[in-house]
Each structure stands twice: as structure tokens, then as C-alpha cells.
Amino acid sequence: MADAGAIIGRAFARGGVDVWGVCDFDPALLTVRTRAIARIPTGARSIVAAAFPYYVGAFAHRTLSRYAMLPDYHNVVSALLAEVCAALRSAFPTERFEPFVDISPLDEVEVGVRAGLGVRGYHTQLINPRYGSYLFLGEIVTTLRLPPSTPGPEGIACLGCKACVRACPGGALDGQGRLDVSRCLSHLTQKKRLSAEEEDAVRRGRLVWGCDVCADVCPYNRQAAYSPVSAFYRNILAVLTNNNLESAGRAWNWRGPEVLQRNLRLCGEHGDQMKCQ
């Protein structure tokens, strides 16, 4: 029989991905309400989980969240997962392999913990010892039985410093590992309509789209390794203006230009640079 682990490792390596693992499929992991749940294979037995690091540099004057500076991660991660699935289907034609990224019915952080990719931080994100929490997560749910990885990399645990809780500009983190999305500044920058109070919060924020504060203050992110995924370095856009807000292939395209124009207005655009006041 083909060595599934070797096939997976080689396929991920071709895309620069060096953090992946396996956990048993558990219906209790299906915690997110999404129609994508219909794609979970009947008789699913294993989940292949992978982390796609996205730190590409400091960019001190950026006006976008780190993830939004890059080409749309949905496209990049989906393409890499599709390559892994294709390799597995070729070797195991009677089994099913279904990829998921972002719009997933799975508790992706818990899957990552169980698959040995990292630990859950108080900012609710997965922390990896090499790449910190600057990670996109993706999964492949399969009917193929795969040996599970050892949960939790050695030598790493959330430090419990709660720097993320204290720094959150919206007070969205409760200190118990839970996030109140309605108070999250990243969420507010994506809403179509804002109250006067929410507009003030966006105005006080320093990014036109998203928020990185809880991640940036995490001790594990102070020396996070650069992303090994070459696709994330293509056409980086760090500063958003009214002239480039409709750039193709970006994570914000789904929302349309009106929300971004509002955020630029709230933060104040000055020529080619934008700085929140």
C-alpha cells in the first residue's frame, strides 16, 4: 500500500508547507454552522490539518491587517490543498478527500491542536512554536484511516500572560479564551453598517481592514519565522488607498468597495498614504 504520510508530506513541501498533522475525525469538531458540512464524507475517519504561515515582514506603516496584504489566502490555500487531495486520490482511488479552508464546519483551532500543530492561545488563535499565530489553517477530511499525530508540539504552551486580552482595543477577549465577535475591531471594519460608537472604534483603530493587535502583542509572534509559502510574497499590498482598493485577488474583495471607502474616510486618507487619526 502507498505511504499516505509520505505522499502528503511531499505534496505539501512542493507548496512550501512544513507544518501539518493528522487527527481522528470526531463529529464533535463540527461546531461551525455552514452549508459546507454537506461535503463531510460519509464514513470520515481522519482529518489532515495544515498551517500556512503568513508573516512576510513588519511593514510598520501598513494600513491593512497582515493577512490582507497578501494575495487572497482562500485561493492560495485552496490550490495547495487541492494538490494534496489530487495526489492522495491518485494513490487511494476508492477513498474520499474533501478540502476545507475558512468556510469550514470544523473547529479549525481544535483540529490543529489535536493534530499537533500548536496550542490555543487566549486570543483564541492557534500558536505554533516556529510561526507564532500568524497562520491560516486548512483541512482535508478523508475516509482513509491515517495514524494520528501526537497532540501539542513539545516545549510550547500559551504563556497565560494575557497580553492579548489587555491590548484588545475593543475589549473583545474575555480572558477565558473566548471572543466576543461583536466587539472585535476586525469584525467592525467588515460590517456594512456601523453605529456612531462603532465608527469611533474604527476611527481610533490603525488599520482600514482587520486588526492585528492581539496577535502582534503575543510573545510567540515577536520572533515569528517568515512564511515559507512563496505564493504569499507575490504582489504584497501594505497601504490601501482609494486608488487600489479594488485590486483583484484580495481577501476583502467579497465585501465590495463601499465598506473600504467608508473605512478610508473614517481613518482619513492623505495622498498615497493613509493614517488613522
pLDDT string in tens for the chain (277-residue length): 579 999 999 999 999 999 999 999 999 999 988 899 999 999 999 999 999 999 999 998 999 999 999 999 999 999 999 999 999 999 999 999 999 999 899 999 999 999 999 999 999 999 999 999 999 999 999 999 999 998 765 556 788 899 999 999 999 999 999 999 999 999 999 999 999 999 999 998 889 999 999 999 999 999 999 999 999 999 999 999 999 988 889 999 999 999 999 999 998 853 344 444 3
102 is catalytic: yes
pTM of the model: 0.93
* Given 18, 26, 72, 102, the catalytic residue: 102
Task: Please say whether the beta carbons of 149 and 121 come within 8 A.
Answer: no
Closest CA to 134 of 123, 146, 145, 150: 123
Q: 73-91 vs 4-14: helix axis angle to the nearest 10? A: 150
